[in-house]
Structure 1
């Protein structure tokens, strides 16, 4: 039985890697792999049902809180989307010449909640497995990324981004693609360092991944992900730099310097960053119809909506408050009117304006318990704490739970980090069945 359960754990890890890498090309394949991993993990829990309660009771306090917070956040997303989705069923919003069905927006929140609720068996199944000690894990993830790069190089970057099949597979949300690149890079960096048997390959592939990460994330022209990637690379290099041999340090410095200079020159990143400053200046000079101006208008409109209805709102109801404020106080900002139906580019304001104070509290509980779990008790990994901090920074400038693909990948990464759990005795008893 123990050998069978161990094979289930390995199969779950491989399926989660498929979900993580497959999301770069086809989100449907990623979701199928995720569902299959959940089914196998549920089978693992079913076979060890009597020991699951003991596992939960003996697990550290912040592990319990983190798992409960995931259920609470996911359950709130599910219940809110079902209740208000039924109330506003068939409601269509007219923005300019376009008409939008609210049911499609509610379905996004529904699948985000579903991804979180069903992820619990993954955490139980993988806790303490120490997957980073298996070289096959890093090889599998690296191969997936390199295959993707070959596809892009063969098709050509422009053709891959603009082809109709790409739009059909990935939809029209470029931010999700950028964040998927970011998640892949984090996993390769975080878990690759533990593969001691492939130290030489690991150091070389780390540089390659850094190059690919800079190029392909910056190609998306997404400022929030650009900031996250820069912060992560600074933190990762700063943490691992002192332990590297001198020749590896020089190689890292040279490689990163060439990548930064090349991206600044060829991909016009500097102009993108400067445009942010000019858009802010334009907003305060009475010209709000820009990307940053739209954000300011939506944030102020969200505060107005929260004050008008602080407990909870449907999407249509919130849009009424937002539209009322923007039309009267923000020069009828077109950039805000077109985007704020879906989200307001701030997850905390989204949670408050849609689900009320309870939505904000459970989300903060999720992030804070994960950070404390990693830092205070050193249960999982310091990398996980920094990953959560970056997600919290991202939520200041964009919305997260409107993108079910990102929520699913967040659950995948969190479950893989759980494999670094320190209490291997509990995991051993789950696998061996010793009582």
Structure 2
């Protein structure tokens, strides 16, 4: 029986890893492996019911709570005369978070089973293969004239955020093997990932990608390796200047133009619409601090933007989301959604800091930072990717195996 339990755990861990690596290649296959891993994890929890402990804090709890808040909000406020809209992104997001929390709980509760395999090497090879496949996919799209590469997704922004986080994990895994060959590959991976991030045309990722990698590098090594840093900066600079004319300069001009137009009261641009959405979203929270339905948010926003036409571009995107994780939660689920999201961010980061778990910490950093300009916990591919990644990273270090 013990052998069956350990094999089931290794299977769930492996399926979760495959799901993560397929996120940028095939979203349909990503979903298949993700849900199979969840169903097997639930089976594992039933089999291991005498072993699991519920009293001690687990990083799955804030994930499940966040999902439950979304589900309760949906059941209480989204019922209309003709019933519920079961195609709601909030409903689907809530279900994915609750189920994903079960996967994270199983993986973290029984992580001692990982000691029977060389999981670090397996992770390195699996993630490395996924990174290489996603990068090749991006270059293939760019060569064939795709203006903003999306890889296997339908939005370049989501692709950029997921790819950036995925490549940061790959760089960490190379660092953790502590040899010259891996350090060299890590430097090349940093430069390559920066190029692909530029090809996505996503400004937040372009600006923050190298910065997050730099902070992660200093946090991991506890010092700055001058020669290695200079080499990576030189390679990144060459990549930057080679792509400057076709990719970087147009983005700089676009940003300057959009900020100027917004200051003149015209928000019908990508950046201007975001500024307007954030303003209107905060106004919605002030109007309904305990939460409101999407219909109520639409009606209030319509009234507010009619009186303040400089924010009118908000109405084009309102029924999708407000391009900020926190503001989106506050504008619909009110203070309860905001607090649940805050606990999700802070508690998992605290566990990562306490256990010196670098990959978990920087997975959360990416989720938080990129959540300032998008709503990742409503996107199917992003939820599946980040929750599976939290589960996998949450078990890569047990308290007895802390980094030195």
C-alpha separation in 2, matches of 1:249 and 1:117: 38
C-alpha separation in 2, matches of 1:185 and 1:202: 14
**Secondary structure, aligned partner of 1:170:** coil
Match status 1:218 vs 2:198:
yes
Shift of 1:138: 0.6
Question: Which runs of structure 2 are paired with 1:41-60 in the superposition (5 Å)?
Answer: 41-53=41-53, 56-57=54-55, 59=56
C-alpha separation in 2, matches of 1:339 and 1:27: 24
Question: Which runs of structure 2 are paired with 1:169-180 in the superposition (5 Å)?
Answer: 170-171=153-154, 173-180=155-162
C-alpha separation in 2, matches of 1:236 and 1:133: 21
Change (3 A) 1:4 1:424: farther
Question: Which runs of structure 2 are paired with 1:82-101 in the superposition (5 Å)?
Answer: 82-87=75-80
Contact kept? 2:20, 2:30, Cα under 8 Å: yes
**Secondary structure, aligned partner of 1:52:** coil
Shift of 1:338: 1.1
Match status 1:414 vs 2:397:
no
In structure 2, the partner of 1:181 is 163
Match status 1:349 vs 2:327:
yes
Change (3 A) 1:389 1:332: closer
Contact kept? 1:344, 1:399, Cα under 8 Å: yes
Question: Which runs of structure 2 are paired with 1:102-181 in the superposition (5 Å)?
Answer: 103-119=87-103, 120-126=105-111, 129=114, 134-154=120-140, 157-158=143-144, 170-171=153-154, 173-181=155-163
Match status 1:275 vs 2:257:
no
CA deviations over 1:48-82 (Å, ceiling 9, x no partner): 211102xx44x5xxxx1633212110111223234
Q: How many residues of Structure 1 are paired with residues of Structure 2 in the alignment?
A: 399
Contact kept? 1:129, 1:421, Cα under 8 Å: no
| Runs of at least 5 residues in structure 2 that lack an aligned partner in the other structure | none
Choose from 73, 76, 81 the match for 1:80.
Answer: 73
C-alpha separation in 2, matches of 1:102 and 1:296: 30
Q: Which moved more, 1:139-148 or 1:233-242?
A: 233-242
**Secondary structure, aligned partner of 2:79:** helix
Q: How big is the alpha-carbon RMSD for the aligned residues of Structure 1 and Structure 2? A: 3.2
TM-score (norm 2): 0.86
Shift of 1:271: 3.5
C-alpha separation in 2, matches of 1:386 and 1:26: 24
Change (3 A) 1:243 1:350: closer
Change (3 A) 1:149 1:220: closer
Contact kept? 2:16, 2:388, Cα under 8 Å: yes
Change (3 A) 1:312 1:181: same
In structure 1, the partner of 2:286 is 307
**Secondary structure, aligned partner of 1:50:** coil
Change (3 A) 1:132 1:339: farther
Change (3 A) 1:208 1:12: farther
**Secondary structure, aligned partner of 1:288:** coil
Change (3 A) 1:35 1:103: closer
Change (3 A) 1:336 1:88: farther
In structure 1, the partner of 2:304 is 325
| Runs of at least 5 residues in structure 1 that lack an aligned partner in the other structure | 92-100, 426-435
C-alpha separation in 2, matches of 1:155 and 1:395: 26
In structure 2, the partner of 1:15 is 15
Choose from 183, 188, 202 the match for 1:208.
Answer: 188
CA deviations over 1:103-144 (Å, ceiling 9, x no partner): 454454344434444333233243784788531221111112
Q: Which moved more, 1:7-16 or 1:364-373?
A: 7-16
Shift of 1:232: 1.1
In structure 2, the partner of 1:227 is 207
CA deviations over 1:370-420 (Å, ceiling 9, x no partner): 122122xx2251443343234223223222222132122111111122113
Contact kept? 2:142, 2:199, Cα under 8 Å: no
Shift of 1:154: 5.0
**Secondary structure, aligned partner of 1:134:** helix
